[in-house]
Structure 1
Amino acid sequence: MRLWHQSLITKLPRQQLLGQHREITALRGNGWGRKHATVNYVFTYSPYKLFQYHILVMDEMKKRGYHPNSVWYDPCYRGQKCLPYNTAIPCPLTTPIYPEHNSAYLQECLENLAQKAVIIKPDSHKNK
């Protein structure tokens, strides 16, 4: 499980983009708070930050002609098998959404993708 560096979202191949959506929905649902080495940092922030990141992913999916279920655009929604949040307290949208998505993390993500035979050239995305 991994959240790709947010500057890569628009460059991800279909498989990684749709996989990202599935992983986020799991994290927003019953996976919230379940330890996993590569995503533990998300649990130190408000769940609203994960919602903000998910919006980026779903908006990219829509640009490519996919139809993510609109229920996920509700920040309180957590899936069919999980009770929704009573309220979702908005937090400021920062760039990057997660400060952990720095240049070192970007490089780690690019190397991970390269191991999957997905090559994204460094100059083909915004380095934030």
Structure 2
Amino acid sequence: SGADVRLWHQSLIKLLPRQQLLGQHREITALRGLGWGRKHATVDYVFRHSPYKLFQFHILVMDEMSSRGYHPDPDWRDPLYRGQRCKSYDQLKAVRLTSPIYPEHTTAYLEECLENLRNKGIIIHLSDPDPDVQ
């Protein structure tokens, strides 16, 4: 299940089941650290943008985790931080927050993500208020 590396479409973050939300956090910490710039078909677009955008996306994910009672390491809230095994950035120019954060997160990308989740047996209706209520 964790084999497929991707950033979920931004509008899905609040709706992801626990496993996918926590998986997304792990994915982003890897990308922010040693995985930065490592070619991978489904996340290559991330490397075309400043690492600051990944930080902005990560904040969304961590805010959602916090709202569900999880406690991601607060060090990740520093845009320069790259994890324990990776030297922090000396500096990183802040970029304007756009909506969506990644222009690649189009309606077609959303459909692809929903399909990917359906294949895992996870049905998400974008109107659902809470993903964990069955």
Task: Please indicate, yes or no, whether the TM-score normalized by the shorter chain is above 0.5.
Answer: yes
Match of residue 72 from structure 2: 68
TM-score, normalised to structure 2, is: 0.91
Q: 1:124 aligns to what SS in structure 2?
A: coil
Task: Return the match for 2:123 from 113, 119, 123.
Answer: 119
SS in 2 for 1:39: helix
Q: 15, 19, 23: which one pairs with 2:23? A: 19
Aligned twin of 2:114? 110
Structure 1 moving runs of 4+ over 3 Å: 122-125
Given the alignment, which residue of 24, 29, 33 partners 2:37?
Answer: 33
Map of 1:96 onto structure 2: 100
**Percent pairwise identity:** 70
Q: CA offsets per residue over residues 40-71 of structure 1, 9 Å max, x none?
A: 00000000000000000000000000000000
The alpha carbon displacement at 1:124 in A equals: 3.4
Residue 45 of structure 1 corresponds to 49
**What residue ranges of structure 1 are gaps of 5+ in the alignment?**
none
Gaps of 5+ in 2: 130-134
User: Post-superposition shift, 1:88?
Assistant: 1.7
Tell me, yes or no, if structure 1 residue 8 matches structure 2 residue 15: no
Report Cα offsets for 1:47-104 as digits up to 9, x if no partner. 0000000000000000000000000000000000000000121000000000000000
Counterpart position of 2:132: none
What is the aligned-residue RMSD (CA, Å)?
Answer: 0.9
Q: For residues 13 and 102 of structure 1, what CA distance do their matches in structure 2 show?
A: 21
- Residue identity matched to 1:106: L
Tell me how far apart the structure 1 counterparts of residues 128 and 109 of structure 2 sit (CA, whole Å): 16
What pairs up with 1:72-91 in 2 under 5 angstroms? 72-91=76-95
* Mapped partners of 1:119, 1:83: distance in 2: 39
Amino acid at match of 1:84: S
Distance 1:83 1:122 in 2: 39
